[in-house]
């Protein structure tokens, strides 16, 4: 396994140490239609209460989202997304000045408003390869923000759709495609003046991927360390677990499965874990870290 990233992640005026203890990113959704019903916080007061609980439970970062990107989601306007997220970010930046805050958006105008409100990271589900990608990269470069590059490439989901791939040989084409996508994103970031030391890679589990591809990536997360960036895993309560075990029919059923994935990802050197349940995932990650062979 290539060595995982170790060092400090600059995110504006803050620095996040990575490579030691696992880092938990708590998901705070202000959208009324996020896929996990219990994560929906439609009022500022409810979202603040959830964020405070996450910090008390040991969250290292908070990821604020106003636009659901679940399957079949409905696009909302920039103005509505800003209205859902900017007031919360302002309140959290004032109350928790040492906690890095992430804005989960692919819209440059929303990202700009979030950064003005106190955000430190931009979380782009299109990995800088969507229509707003160049503007997002320039915005992060100009403000000193860090940026999460998520893999999201619909062209790969036409392959490996019938059975789980054997390892390692049959996973190679998928991994090569994912790595090529990330290399292109890193080039786009560099062209915008955004240095590599402010970038995080997310394999994008559940986004434009077949079930076998999701599983293959989860088995091979360590391959992403070849690019030299920190890795963030966002698999909390997702449908990949329901496909593996049909009794896990809804997001509410998938906590144990998420904890297992968090522990296995920690064993593969994944530094950041984006989760709905901070306390439980923190314990799972810490036990995995304690038991990991040196």
Residue 148 lies in a domain: yes
The DSSP bridge pattern shows strands 14-18 and 7-11 to be: antiparallel
Task: Give me the long-range contacts of 193-197 (CB less than 8 A, separation at least 24).
Answer: 193/138, 193/141, 193/142, 194/137, 194/138, 194/140, 194/141, 194/147, 195/141, 196/228, 196/229, 197/7, 197/9, 197/10
pLDDT of res. 170: 66
pLDDT of res. 293: 61
Residue 2 lies in a domain: no
pLDDT at 160 over 60: no
pLDDT at 6 over 90: yes
Global pTM reads 0.92
> Using one digit for the tens of pLDDT, what is the confidence trace for 134-155?
999 999 999 999 999 999 999 9
CATH number of the domain enclosing 249? 3.20.20.20
Tokens of 86: 């900017």
Residues serving a catalytic function are 238, 274
**Nearest-CA neighbor of 25 among 154, 172, 202?**
202
Residue 110 DSSP code: H
What total number of domains does the chain contain? 1
Residue 167 lies in a domain: yes
Domain limits at 160? 7-291
> Using one digit for the tens of pLDDT, what is the confidence trace for 237-276?
999 999 999 999 999 999 999 999 999 999 999 999 999 9
pLDDT at 100 over 90: yes
pLDDT of res. 292: 79
Average pLDDT score over the chain: 91
Cα 58 to chain centroid distance, Å, stands at 17
Residue 86 lies in a domain: yes
């Amino acid at each position: 396994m290539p060595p995982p990233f170790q060092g400090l992640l600059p995110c504006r005026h803050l620095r996040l140490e990575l490579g030691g203890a696992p880092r938990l990113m708590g998901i705070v959704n202000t959208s009324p239609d996020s896929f996990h019903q219990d994560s929906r916080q439609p009022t500022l007061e409810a979202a603040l209460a959830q964020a405070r609980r996450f910090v008390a439970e040991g969250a290292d970062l908070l990821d604020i989202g106003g636009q659901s990107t679940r399957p079949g989601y409905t696009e909302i306007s920039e103005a509505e997304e800003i209205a859902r997220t900017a007031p919360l970010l302002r309140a959290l930046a004032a109350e928790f000045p040492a906690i890095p805050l992430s804005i989960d958006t692919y819209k440059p105008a929303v990202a700009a408003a979030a950064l003005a409100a106190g955000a430190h990271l931009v979380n782009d589900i299109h990995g800088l390869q969507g229509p707003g990608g160049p503007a997002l990269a320039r915005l992060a470069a100009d403000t000193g923000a860090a940026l999460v590059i998520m893999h999201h490439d619909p062209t790969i989901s036409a392959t490996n759709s019938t059975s789980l791939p054997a390892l390692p040989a049959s996973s190679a084409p998928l991994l090569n495609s994912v790595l090529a996508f990330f290399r292109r994103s890193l080039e786009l970031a560099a062209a915008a003046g955004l240095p590599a030391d402010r970038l995080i890679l997310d394999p994008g589990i559940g986004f434009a991927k077949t079930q076998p591809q999701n599983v293959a990536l989860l088995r091979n997360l360590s391959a992403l360390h070849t690019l030299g960036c920190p890795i963030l895993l966002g698999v909390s309560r997702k449908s990949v677990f329901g496909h593996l075990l049909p009794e896990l029919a809804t997001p509410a059923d998938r906590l144990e499965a998420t904890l297992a994935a968090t522990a296995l990802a920690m064993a593969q050197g994944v530094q950041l874990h984006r989760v709905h349940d901070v306390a439980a995932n923190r314990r799972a990650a810490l036990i995995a870290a304690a038991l990991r062979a040196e």
